[in-house]
Amino acid sequence: MQRDGKRDFILSHEHFILEIRPDQRRIDGSAELIIQPLSGSLRTVRINSRQCRILETFVNDKRVEHQFTDAIANLKLEGETDISHHQTYKSRYLTAIREADEGELFITLPEDCVKPVRQFQPLHQ
């Protein structure tokens, strides 16, 4: 998630399912995040998700649009490089990380999914 703490929501629950495939050097999985909006105007959720391949996103079991940009996926040094170019690569890497601090995955929320708290029914009556 964002490092600066300026989110428009509270992350209340995380659930991850991972399938590790050592023979393919691959990890497949899914993540369920339960958030509590801090306002009724929340329209996008930004999540740090470096080195992932996002296939689809859902909000309340409905497929929603998302945009994914991995700032370090195409980070390379041109020409012949060796260990002496480590500082150059490190500098470019850290710059890319700082620029992506808002999150690489942008999930667009449906208009009807964010409701004021007063619209929810109490758990116990």
Confidence of residue 3 (pLDDT cuts 50, 70, 90): very low
pLDDT 10s digits, 63-117: 999 999 887 777 777 777 777 778 888 888 888 878 766 668 999 999 888 766 5
Does residue 102 contact residue 2 with C-beta atoms inside 8 Å? yes
pTM of the predicted protein model: 0.67
Instruction: Locate the domains of the chain by residue range.
Output: 9-71+103-108
* DSSP secondary structure letters along 3-60: SS---SEEEEEEEEEEEEEGGGTEEEEEEEEEEEESSTT--EEEE--TT-----EEET
- Calculate the dihedral angle through the C-alpha atoms of 76, 80, 84, 89, rounding to the nearest 10 degrees: -10
- Residue carrying structure tokens 């369920």: 32
Element at 106 (helix H, strand E): strand 105-108
At residue 2, what are phi and psi to the nearest 5 degrees?
A: -65, 140
